[in-house]
Structure 1
Amino acid sequence: MNLQLQKFLESTDFIRAVKVTLAAATPVVLFSYLDMFSVGFTIALGALFTFISDIPGNLRHRINGMLISNVIAAGSTVVISIATVSGWIFYPLFLALIFLLSLIAVYGQRATLVSFSGLMAMSLAFAHTYTGRELIDHVLLMLSGGFFYLGISMIFYYIRPLRYAELQMAECILLTSRYLKLRGCMWNEKANRKKITRELLDLQVELNEIHEKLRETLIRNRTRGGSSNQNRRLLIAHIELVEILELAMATSFDYEKIHRAFHRYPYVLNAYRHLAYNLASLLLHLGQSVEKNKKYTATLHPYKDLESFKKNIDRFRKETNAADHPGTEEVLALVNMFNYVEQQVEKIRVVEYSFTGLVPPRQEVKRKDRELEKLLTPQHYSLITITQNLSFSSTIFRHALRLTLTVFAGFLIGNMLTIQNTYWILLTIVVIMRPGYGLTRQRSFHRTIGTLAGGAIAFGIISVIHNSTVLGIMAMTCMVLGFSFSQRNYSIGATFITLYVIFVYGMLTPDIREVILFRITDTLIGTALAFAANHFLWPSWEFRSLPGFLENSIRATRNYIGEISVYYNRKGEVPLSYRIARKQAFIEIGNLMASFQRMAQEPRSRQKQLGQFYELVVLNHTLLSSAASLGAFIQSRKTTKASEAFNAITKAIVQNLDRAVTQLSENPERHEEHTENREQLNLRFTELKEIREKEIRASGGMHDDNFKSRMEEGQLIIEHLIGLTNLSENIGKAVGKIEKTGKPSGILHF
């Protein structure tokens, strides 16, 4: 329990909650003593609006995001205040403001939060109308609150500038440990491998997201402001963790076949499984120590386990006389397994060294700053991005239009029903509605549960406690807990936020029961409107966008395979283009899996072709794994010259994927490029095998190390090419079974 509490208190969510509570509570308490509560409350609002966009990342982006949030929130308040007293012009201004603020989200996650800040300020502007000098004073106080929060945020940052990166790194290490543990579970004979594969797919989505956050933080910190020793160590660890994941993905085994081959020699697989679990445990312990900010002490010794596995391989060779037949499938499988864990041990040790002060030099960290920046996902803030999204094919455009109409409907309903606080309906809609149906439904449910629970708890407490000081302390406590849990568990977060709001009103309003009733009523109305709108107004059903994510993923994997082929032909140092292609392929497979996850949350009637898409998700994941496996093998070995047969087969694989992409395209063009048929490919495979046999006959000795290396290379390259060819063909067949779905039109969808 103490460990969980410590983890919670060290978390980024809790620190952010403390910052905003400090920034919001300080002016309220201070000005309340001066009998100027409204001044303190306005400053607190400015701090809250600025806090919303203060998400971790590059420092320059954080500061810019907070400044823009502050200005947009103040600007939204000015527009609503002026429009409210301007008669008929109110409605077009109101609608235009909602739509434009919603459309800002096209620029990414931080922009989405800036947009949310503006929408929150717009909603709360209806609580009180300001004009003239009063409006100017109100806006200036809001801006000062934003700057006050910015100052507090920077103080926290400079006290521990890389703590966020360390926490993200700890989470990355723990998720990677879990990934390796699941891969180890695959070796259990009775393992449910389909279920484990599904868990691995879901886990990779999380890992892709956290890798992108770490790239943004660590690489931009290095390129913009120089590289501290601590930043360099974290960057080294990040590079290795990415490669650990890619190597784990890259190395796939036919588990059933291997179990059949070694069922009489269980000690071999037991030694391998023991080593695999220990590697996962090592990362687990390391991640926990980084998370707790404690000195890491190594307790596991993977090199000893690796040596033990090697001894068991030698024992197997002696017992089966395999030493005289190094080309058997069993021996090659063991060699492949040993090479995989040996590379993993080396990479995991580098991560371990990064936190113990013994960091070996890494070529990637010595690269020029501009090359490191190329690994980042580019962000474009041009006006063209907005204009390109002004169509019903854009999910953000449809969401902006949907949100505009829903907020307007909530405003009209609130006025017609003479509800006390109409802006609560607007706030509920703004908070709940998301572009996707699944997330909106989830947040609607959690918001309702949280509001009802918070209202019931608050009613009981307010009935007993009437002391304003006690209510103020409880309000601040609930504020911290509410913001802390908002990302972890939205229903719990909503419960504490409801408690916080009611306690504040309890300090100001004698009839708190009426406040609770209106709070619950407004929340239910807003929730119902948000849920209905996402279901009926231009819904973003995932079956419409999933083919696009699939197309992007296949195209990215095709480019990656092309880079592997180029590298195998040219040899030498791994080029940056190879790394960028690999990174993009992993990002796109993550996007594809995230899209499939969203589809699985939608109504069954909208989960069209779910089985077919899942088959393609798994096939594409397996294709990427096989491609990464080939790339990892080529990087880790001194390989021979690429043959014409190799190039012909890789070209055919790329062309198979090109045809699949063409089939998925809305406006497919006829693919005129010459492709080799299956019979011709079989001849190419035969040619590769003949080259290998020729090397065997020409070899001066069966035990020559160069001979063994060439033989292993030939066998494994052939196996990889066969696998990639079959997968590329299967993807083409599976794509052919997908029924085309048109682009979203500008009509209501039911």
Structure 2
Amino acid sequence: MKVSDKIFATTYNNLSEYFNSTDFSKALLLGFALTVPIIFGVKLDVLQIGITITVGAMLASPSDVSGSIRHKITGILLATLLAMIVSLIGGYLHLSLWLLIPILGILIFCISYIAIYGFRASLISFSGLLALVLSFSSVSDELQPYERMLLIGIGGLWYASLSLLRHFIFPKAPTEYYLSKTLKLTADYLTTRGELVAENKDRTELLKKLLNTQTELTSTHETLRDILISSRTGSGKSEYEGKRMLIFVQLVDMLELAMANPVNYSKTDELFAEEPGQLKDFQNLLFAMSDRLNVIAAHLSSPKKLLKTTKIEEYQQRIKADIEAYTIKNAGSFNENSVMLNNLLKYQNEQIKKIEKIEWLLKNPAQREISLLKKEDSRRFLTKQKYDLDVLVENFNMRSPIFKHSLRLAVMTIIGYSIGMLFAVQNSYWILLTLIVIMRPTFGLTKTRSKERTIGTLIGGALAVGIVLLTKNTTVYGVLAIISLIIAFSMVQRNYKAAATFITLSVVFIYALLRPDIFNVIQYRVTDTLIGAGLATLGNLLLWPAWEIQSMQKTLLETVKANRIYLEEIVGFYNKKGTVPTEYKVARKKAFLEMSDLSVAFQRMTQEPKSKQKHLDKLYEIAMLNHTFLSSLASLSTYILNNPTTPASENFNMVSGKIVKNLLDAETILEESISSEREKNDLDTEDIFEATFGNKIVFSEQEIQKEDDFHLKIEEAHLVREQLRWLLAMSRKMQKIVREIEF
């Protein structure tokens, strides 16, 4: 494929994904919700009423994020209620400056502190902050505060009804979009795995890309899990939702299987250096599976158009022939490479079965042919948020990042408003608006948002000047304002710089319709944004800064703990056999989520000032160590779950027990901040391992004579032994690193 064709294909796929996304459909809905009241206001000569209803719809919209419809509507209604209360209070804040400023600070703190209840609560909090800031504008000065409150409520209900209507017209849209996204991300993950198999002197960038894809995939899993499980719980037993849930289960298993590929690349490098043809075949098989997942994603809603392919089967046969040739070549002696190749092929065969199962489920098999998950089991996979008053009390201290953020935002809002009043800025509430949009609990995210907001505003201002100089047509301004607003809202989560550009364009064009001094509007818009962005950055730098190192200890503790519980579930299943318990799957989900959180936390730390990036090398090492540990757990559990295994030996339980103890010791160090002088273990890793398993696999003559049984036993012994050795070494290393880090 030519470079130009690749660029065209990538651009087409990105645009297609954008226009099919829930972000774009929500932006269209919001554009409609904001435009209709204003049009009616103009037609009926009640523009102030139309504008206020529009403001109500806008304040309700932030809570309309991906998730179950019940959670969405609840969030929208709570955001509307908060906006109404805050707007009523804001309407009576025409007090003396000395009285207004402390009341403003207290209100900002209280509203911001609601974010302690999680992501959706933070969006409801944002609606409240936005309502308070907009109460300082002159948007609806002609209305009484109680009238304004009621109209904002009508706007919120208007938006909620539209959101419900969209759900009833397109009930499957969120499920299809996120399922398609999960398929594509899984395909990307397999592709990166294929690239990692190749001999590379430095795999750092590929491993970073793999970790980023895994983080995004885990986040998408959580969203899709919420949509599917909440939908089934709320609407009864839906065959469609049930089958989509089973497809999702296959994709979760595929992530675990993909992680289960051998993580010790030095051995595969040695083997594939001798047999480069085998490397190419293994890579091509991974790429063929990736391509198939992308094709399935493209035809998710129209599976009848999904054409059969023999590409995967062809590469399967080639690898099988490669392994047979290699085994014949090295006949007469036990060869670990042969076992490793067979294990590699086994994993890929399991992945292929998952893909085939997905295709079979898409062909709409009869209900009796499939076994749907029980509702009571599926509910256990949802991440529950506590809404007790105790949460507010527990976090009301300087150790809580949200408490510090609320306090910081309140102080900077007071300073920003004071600067606006002192220098008689035309729209001083724009400074406050910039502050509440940009300021985040962590310095890295605030700095990034400040930079992107500033650049976006400057670009938007420059584009607006060019358009205004080219035309004075108010119809053009109106059309561009609506288009810019839709694009801006659809880009907020994807590309904040682009969103800031289009928000600036929409604001400028809206003011161009209302006022003649458009160049002054652009000037003040840019000035206020620069002041707000500067204050946001300074606030996070100087006022009770929440550096990532302060919360990294807890993040690491949760990751190690989740890996330990996952390991305990694997050991428990290996001993008991039988049906895979729900506890195992819940533990696996938790381990993936915590690993994702650790990865994101480390990325945030890299955005902080160099002086605050304490122990960055060690934290990177332990983040990668936890990822590798999770991959090794996935490898062990995948083999145990998908193969008939012998009873767990005493040696297995002794070594796995030691690994668990090492992880518990690491948790203790993280919990108690024990110094590096802590007493060390009595035996090092290799001594412990060899004292139980020995330094090589040994079988009796009777076992060797039973050929079929012997082959399975040696395969099991090799994989279990190697993974335990690897896990033990990593658990010991975790102890060492966390002991050296001063949090």
User: 1:351, CA displacement in angstroms?
Assistant: 2.3
User: 1:48, CA displacement in angstroms?
Assistant: 0.4
Q: Is 1:736 paired with 2:739?
A: yes
Q: 1:680, 1:494 → 2: CA distance? A: 59
Of residues 693, 702, 705, the one that matches 1:701 is 705
Of residues 261, 273, 276, the one that matches 1:251 is 261
2:8 matched to which residue of 1? none
Q: 1:428, 1:124 → 2: CA distance? A: 12
After TM superposition, list the pairs within 5 Å mapping 1:461-472 onto structure 2: 461-472=467-478
1:353 matched to which residue of 2? 360
Q: 2:271, 2:298 → 1: CA distance? A: 38
Q: 2:467, 2:405 → 1: CA distance? A: 39
User: 1:618, CA displacement in angstroms?
Assistant: 1.0
Deviates more, 1:104-113 or 1:295-304: 295-304
Cα deviations across residues 156-198 of structure 1 (Å, max 9, x unaligned)? 1111112112111111111111111111011222463222112
2:329 matched to which residue of 1? 319
Q: Is 1:522 paired with 2:522?
A: no
Please tell me whether the aligned partners of residues 205 and 590 of structure 1 are also in contact (alpha carbons under 8 angstroms): yes
Q: 1:230, 1:63 → 2: CA distance? A: 22
After TM superposition, list the pairs within 5 Å mapping 1:318-717 onto structure 2: 318-321=328-331, 324-325=332-333, 327-358=334-365, 366-666=372-672, 668=674, 678=685, 681-686=688-693, 693-694=698-699, 696-699=700-703, 701-703=705-707, 705-717=708-720
Amino acid at match of 1:338: L
Q: 2:625, 2:738 → 1: CA distance? A: 11
After TM superposition, list the pairs within 5 Å mapping 1:166-245 onto structure 2: 166-190=176-200, 192-245=202-255
- Judged with a 3 Å threshold, the aligned counterparts in structure 2 of structure 1 residues 265 and 510 are, in CA distance, closer, same or farther, namely closer
Q: 2:28, 2:142 → 1: CA distance? A: 35
Deviates more, 1:574-583 or 1:461-470: 461-470
- Judged with a 3 Å threshold, the aligned counterparts in structure 2 of structure 1 residues 202 and 9 are, in CA distance, closer, same or farther, namely closer
- Judged with a 3 Å threshold, the aligned counterparts in structure 2 of structure 1 residues 474 and 132 are, in CA distance, closer, same or farther, namely closer
Of residues 153, 157, 166, the one that matches 1:147 is 157
User: 1:320, CA displacement in angstroms?
Assistant: 2.9
- Judged with a 3 Å threshold, the aligned counterparts in structure 2 of structure 1 residues 617 and 667 are, in CA distance, closer, same or farther, namely closer
Cα deviations across residues 310-337 of structure 1 (Å, max 9, x unaligned)? 122122222332xx54x42022111211
**Where does the alignment leave 5 or more consecutive residues of structure 2 unmatched?**
1-10
2:5 matched to which residue of 1? none
Q: Is 1:273 paired with 2:278?
A: no
Cα deviations across residues 504-546 of structure 1 (Å, max 9, x unaligned)? 1111112222222211111111111111101111111111211
Please tell me whether the aligned partners of residues 246 and 628 of structure 1 are also in contact (alpha carbons under 8 angstroms): yes
Count of aligned pairs: 732
2:124 matched to which residue of 1? 114
Please tell me whether the aligned partners of residues 685 and 729 of structure 2 are also in contact (alpha carbons under 8 angstroms): no
2:67 matched to which residue of 1? 57
Of residues 719, 722, 726, the one that matches 1:719 is 722
Please tell me whether the aligned partners of residues 353 and 359 of structure 1 are also in contact (alpha carbons under 8 angstroms): no
1:260 matched to which residue of 2? 270
- Judged with a 3 Å threshold, the aligned counterparts in structure 2 of structure 1 residues 728 and 700 are, in CA distance, closer, same or farther, namely closer
1:284 matched to which residue of 2? 294
Q: 2:519, 2:303 → 1: CA distance? A: 46
Please tell me whether the aligned partners of residues 81 and 131 of structure 1 are also in contact (alpha carbons under 8 angstroms): no
- Judged with a 3 Å threshold, the aligned counterparts in structure 2 of structure 1 residues 217 and 351 are, in CA distance, closer, same or farther, namely same
Q: 2:698, 2:686 → 1: CA distance? A: 21
Q: Is 1:48 paired with 2:58?
A: yes
Please tell me whether the aligned partners of residues 228 and 245 of structure 2 are also in contact (alpha carbons under 8 angstroms): yes
User: 1:251, CA displacement in angstroms?
Assistant: 2.1
1:104 matched to which residue of 2? 114
User: 1:306, CA displacement in angstroms?
Assistant: 1.8
Q: 1:140, 1:149 → 2: CA distance? A: 14
Deviates more, 1:366-375 or 1:40-49: 366-375
- Judged with a 3 Å threshold, the aligned counterparts in structure 2 of structure 1 residues 362 and 418 are, in CA distance, closer, same or farther, namely farther
Amino acid at match of 2:480: M
2:4 matched to which residue of 1? none
Deviates more, 1:223-232 or 1:407-416: 223-232
1:23 matched to which residue of 2? 33
Please tell me whether the aligned partners of residues 221 and 227 of structure 1 are also in contact (alpha carbons under 8 angstroms): no
Amino acid at match of 1:563: E
Amino acid at match of 1:625: S
Residue 391 of structure 1 aligns to a residue in which SS? coil
Please tell me whether the aligned partners of residues 81 and 129 of structure 1 are also in contact (alpha carbons under 8 angstroms): no
Q: 1:673, 1:39 → 2: CA distance? A: 72
Q: 2:728, 2:483 → 1: CA distance? A: 60
- Judged with a 3 Å threshold, the aligned counterparts in structure 2 of structure 1 residues 653 and 735 are, in CA distance, closer, same or farther, namely same
Please tell me whether the aligned partners of residues 654 and 692 of structure 2 are also in contact (alpha carbons under 8 angstroms): no
Q: 1:584, 1:113 → 2: CA distance? A: 24
- Judged with a 3 Å threshold, the aligned counterparts in structure 2 of structure 1 residues 350 and 391 are, in CA distance, closer, same or farther, namely same
Please tell me whether the aligned partners of residues 246 and 372 of structure 2 are also in contact (alpha carbons under 8 angstroms): no
Q: 2:685, 2:268 → 1: CA distance? A: 28
Amino acid at match of 2:345: F
Deviates more, 1:297-306 or 1:664-673: 664-673
User: 1:39, CA displacement in angstroms?
Assistant: 0.9
- Judged with a 3 Å threshold, the aligned counterparts in structure 2 of structure 1 residues 503 and 245 are, in CA distance, closer, same or farther, namely same
**Where does the alignment leave 5 or more consecutive residues of structure 1 unmatched?**
742-750
- Judged with a 3 Å threshold, the aligned counterparts in structure 2 of structure 1 residues 7 and 300 are, in CA distance, closer, same or farther, namely farther
